[in-house]
Structures are given as structure tokens and as C-alpha cells.
Amino acid sequence: MTEGGIVARAMLFSRSMTIYGGTTEVQLNIIGERLLGLPRDAEPGK
């Protein structure tokens, strides 16, 4: 792959990486709340 191809690929995937970057935390929150009965996280700004 050429240098330009690597840069182009990085640019294309950069947005999707920010989206799926938080999915682990979301899944852990769901498991904690529903399966373990833990309280919900505090809402930001309150």
C-alpha cells in the first residue's frame, strides 16, 4: 500500500473509530444496570 493509501484509509476510518470507541463503555453500563442491578450513572450537568 502506498503512503497516500495509508493516509486515505486512516481518514476514512477515523470517524468510525470515534463511534465504536465508546461502545465498550455503553455495553458495560448496560450489563451493570440490568444484570448486576447497579444504579444508573449520574447524568452530566446535574
Query: What pTM was computed for the model?
Result: 0.46
Cα–Cα distance measured from residue 28 to residue 8, given in angstroms and rounded to the nearest whole number: 32
**Residue 6 has what pLDDT?**
84
Q: Residue 43 CA to chain centroid, in angstroms? A: 18
SS3 5: helix
- 1-46 pLDDT, tens digit per residue, is 556 788 888 888 877 776 776 777 888 888 899 999 998 877 766 6
